[in-house]
Chain A
Amino acid sequence: MDWVNAIVQGIFVGGLYALFATGLSLIFGVMRLVNIAHGDLIILAAFLSLAVVDGLNIHPLVSLVIVVPVMAAFGYALQRGILNFTLGKDILPPLLVTFGLSVIIQNALLETFSADSQRLQAGAIETASIPIGQGLAIGVLPLIIFVTAIVVIGGLQFVFYQTTLGRVFRATSDDAVTARTMGIDKSHVFALAMALALAVVAIAGVLMGIRTNFDPAVGPARLLFAFEAVIMGGLGNLWGTLAGGIILGVAQAIGAQINPGWQILAGHIAFLIVLVIRPNGLFPRIQG
């Protein structure tokens, strides 16, 4: 029973990893930009929510109404104002610039919110759970996070394959020059993609902030698993990212069940195995 429980909980943790990774996957899919500041942007969203919650005295989930548009607007401005200038043949400038951005966000948060470990108070849903017998119980919050991951990815998938905006994204991603001859403004499209990615980051940040503590310095730690989930799932494939996240979560749960020392290692080993068998990830849609 312990094993069943471990795997079930691992799947739910996988949902969290997938949510962390979706924004990263989206940005890479559209513009081949590796965003080193992704983890810090998640933390930024969590702090933003904290400020809104404290200021307006509302539930953290309600704060999404404000945090999501603000982060999206920030994403648009960030892409148009800075990141577009770094994109080109060389992959190094965007890496360096987002790395710098990561340092700036951390220190700005430290100055504004101090180094205290914070958490978004969500009341009873934090600890509520649904018992399903024989010592097995599913936490309400992990369930919400998992369902949110599926809904977010489903929604993005819809946008990408059923709407004009999605066609524009895919066209720009496939061949920016030809897309331009069709009257597509690359800078605007990339900025929209970043806005969409940061809207997802906002959701991930708020849910993470309800789940556990965060502080200005914790962002980079959230980046590694997101990268692994993206790469395992296959670059540019959002459902693949969900699969990658779940594989990572379950592998860690199984490792932990054997010995907690193997928890993180088991995730990395699963990552290596996938890379050895399928160097492009499980379900690649584009060639990296």
Chain B
Amino acid sequence: MSKLIGKRKSGLIEIGGSLSRRRFIKASALGAAGLAGAGTLTRPRLARANDTITIGYVSPQTGPLAPFAEADDYILAGIREVLADGIDVDGTMHPVEILVRDSQSNPSRASEVAADLILGDEVNMIVVSSTPETTNPVSDQCEINEVPCVSTVAPWQPWFFTRGGDPEAGFEFTYHFFWGLEDVIAVFTDMWSQLETNQSVGGLFPNDGDGNAWGDPELGFPPVLANLGYTLTDPGRYQNLTDDFTAQISAFKDASAEIVTGVVIPPDWTTFWTQSAQQGFRPKIASIGKALLFPVAVEALGDTGNNLSSEVWWSPSHPFSSSLTGQSAAEVAEGYTSATGRQWTQPIGFAHALFEVAVDALRRSGDPTDYYAVTDAVATTDINSVVGPIRWGDGPVRNVAKTPLVGGQWRLGGEFPYELVITSNEQAPEIPTASTMEPIS
């Protein structure tokens, strides 16, 4: 099997900015179709049968972010099975090779493996998942080297703005699908509105990328909460891995907060929640990002995790199915549980959807070895994936497609110690709720 050399360096003919070069190549390719044969000038190697398409996949398989990538093996096995015969591009079957690289939860390492995939392995496109620490350096590498890249599992603001994105211009080669801060705020406040409270909210915002974004006085929670009549007690940015939350607990008690919210890492949430119980602080609602994502982190709280709430990006009860395998969300989750014996987690659906987008774009590209053609195909994606419809163009910026977000509560009982039950779907009514909000008892 000969491997195709990508046409990243096809700009032997350098003309001004990248956009005009891209137009030029497109135009010459079109012209080539008319003047039969002349196209070989701009297409040094034509796609042949048996020419392998390579997709690079970067995720944090080791290090602190590793729980995000825990389902990778299962997802990849499923994808490889579906693609065993290759991808059909305009009647030609191309075998597919997926090269998996570990970011080691380290942004520099992520950047390094992405560069390797692009320059060494000469992949045709890159897909990347899990937190801005992984998606951003990989997307940056792709943008610089002009390789199409699709990313997910990072709220879109830290993906777009942290990379210096200009909402007017956007990026040329890098595309992202997920939800944003505005969706979390909407989901959380909808959950809170279901219960009678004194509208006093305590905020736990750490001094990291997420904490500063959530607590931002202009773009974060504070202005929205003020508009809706909530009073927010925000004692200030604390450092991650804090051993003592007495100051925050005292401040919340003084404000008689009945709601606690924030974006907290799991060990800190356990420390806070345990100390709260010890010091007699018991809010009615606790809606927390990050800490409550994985079921094991909730189990770590013993019985005190009951009715804690969190945003839900994907669940087996989402009424979506894969465009690749036809499996429903429930079947994908069930498959993971029967393959590993473990409870489903939210990143599973998105890891699967990432490959749905990639395969669909390569299939429609006309020439999977042409970076521009593949990028154009990604931009015109319109599929119904296992995480919902994905379509760029009607997002907040042109490189971002938003997927639906709902809210849920962790409840004791069921097949596993805790089950995530959807309690708010105001943002996405197509996703059914299974219950309504219950106060923490």
Name A residues whose Cβ lies closer than 8 Å to a Cβ of B. Answer: 2, 5-6, 9-10, 13, 16-17, 107, 110, 114-119, 121, 123, 126-129, 131, 135, 137-142, 211-215, 217-218, 221, 249, 252-253, 256-257, 259-261, 263-264
Contacts and interface: CB of A to CB of B under 8 A. Distances in A.
A264 B239 contact: yes
A113 B375 CA distance: 40
7 contacts: A6-B247, A10-B244, A126-B277, A135-B280, A212-B268, A261-B239, A263-B242
Contact of B244 (A116, A221, A263): A263
Given A9-B246, A260-B247, A115 B302 contact: no
A257 B254 CA distance: 13
Contacts of B299: 119
B19 to A, nearest CB: 42
B74 interface: no
The 8 closest A-B pairs by CB, nearest first: A115-B66, A139-B278, A127-B277, A119-B300, A256-B247, A260-B238, A213-B267, A9-B246
A9, A138, A221: most-surrounded residue (chain B CB, <10 A):
A9
A16 to B, nearest CB: 6
B207 A115 contact: no
A140 to B, nearest CB: 8
Nearest to A221: B241
Interface residues of B, number: 43
Nearest to A209: B300
Contacts of A261: 207, 236-239
B235 interface: yes
Given A110-B66, A116-B296, A260-B236, A9 B244 contact: yes
Given A117-B294, A213-B300, A217-B64, A260 B248 contact: yes
Nearest to A122: B302
A16 B66 contact: no
Contacts of B266: 117, 213
B280 A137 contact: yes
A242 B1 CA distance: 67
A212 B236 contact: no
Contacts of B294: 116-117
Given A10-B244, A116-B296, A217-B64, A129 B237 contact: no
Interface of B: 62-67, 70, 105, 207, 235-239, 241-244, 246-248, 250, 253-254, 266-268, 270-271, 274-275, 277-280, 294, 296-297, 299-302, 304
Given A127-B278, A211-B274, A115 B64 contact: yes
B304 A127 contact: yes
Contact of B297 (A117, A139, A142, A263): A117
A140 B63 CA distance: 33
Nearest to B268: A212
Contacts of B267: 117, 212-215, 218
Chain A interface, >50% SS class: helix
Nearest to B240: A221
Contact of A260 (B62, B63, B237, B300): B237
B62 A118 contact: no
A253 B244 contact: yes
A278 B250 CA distance: 34
Most A CB within 10 A of own CB, among B235, B243, B299, B302: B243
A5 B246 contact: yes
A49 B316 CA distance: 34
A129 B302 contact: no
B66 A260 contact: no
B247 A117 contact: no
Contacts of A213: 266-267, 270, 297, 300
B67 A263 contact: no
Contacts of A16: 243
B247 A253 contact: yes
Nearest to B297: A117
Contacts of A214: 267
A10 B275 CA distance: 12
B238 A256 contact: yes
Nearest to B280: A137
Contacts of B304: 126-127
Nearest to B105: A217
Contacts of B253: 135
A259 B275 CA distance: 18
A215 B241 CA distance: 12
A110 B207 CA distance: 27
A224 B207 CA distance: 19
Counting chain A CB atoms within 10 Å of each CB, the highest count among B246, B274, B297 belongs to: B246
A140 B275 CA distance: 10
Contacts of A6: 246-247, 250
A263 B247 contact: yes
Given A110-B62, A127-B278, A117 B236 contact: no
